[in-house]
Amino acid sequence: MSLIVLAGSVQARVDTVLKARGLNLRKYGALHHVVATPGISFSELARRFEITVQSMHTLLAALIAAGLLESTIPHPGDAAELVVTEAGRALLRELDGEISAIDDGLFGASAPLEWQQLGDAVTAVAIAATRAAGS
């Protein structure tokens, strides 16, 4: 139960930052995935987010309409290529800074030792999960 309470509190802070910029966690994550994985398809993004391709199309259409993402089809019959616009990259830099500040406030050097240790443990688990997903 403690994890649920803690996660809810942290997510509420992050959601506030994202909402002020017209995003939610899925849209923020989608922008990061497109930056980190050039050429990623709509289908692969949908799989990563565990949503339908149709839902991913709707999510990406909102990012395109906001000017944060571009979708091009290089040649007829090719899959669409997604590119984060400069406005999208600038927004990600701002948001990453604000979200890092939340993280640092909770788990950084000025936090109580137990919170610092929790932050270190969560980071280690995230790294291990990323490695396991890549293998």
* Digit-coded pLDDT (tens) for 77-116: 677 789 999 999 999 999 999 999 999 999 999 999 999 9
**CATH number, domain at 95?**
1.10.10.10
Q: Identify whether 124 is part of a domain.
A: no
Q: Identify whether 26 is part of a domain.
A: yes
Cβ distance 64 to 70 under 8 Å?
yes
Q: What is the extent of the structural domain holding 66?
A: 2-103
pTM of this structure = 0.84
> Does residue 39 come out as left (phi exceeding 0), alpha (psi in the -120 to 50 range) or beta?
left
Q: At residue 34, does pLDDT exceed 80?
A: yes
User: How many helices (H) and strands (E) in the chain?
Assistant: 6, 2
Distance, in Å, from the CA atom of 113 to the CA atom of 115, rounded to the nearest integer, reads: 5
Q: Identify whether 125 is part of a domain.
A: no
Q: Identify whether 17 is part of a domain.
A: yes
What is the residue-wise DSSP string for 80-95? PEEEE-HHHHHHHHHH
Q: Identify whether 133 is part of a domain.
A: no
The count of domains in the chain is 1
Q: Identify whether 132 is part of a domain.
A: no
Q: At residue 75, does pLDDT exceed 80?
A: no
Q: Identify whether 36 is part of a domain.
A: yes
- Give φ, ψ of 31 to 5 degrees: -60, -45
Taking only the tens place, the pLDDT of each residue in 113-127 is 999 999 999 999 999
Q: Identify whether 28 is part of a domain.
A: yes
Cα distances (angstroms) measured from residue 95 to each of 9, 29, 106, 129: 18, 11, 17, 24
Provide, rounded to the nearest whole percent, the portion of the chain with pLDDT above 90. Answer: 74
pLDDT score, position 74: 66
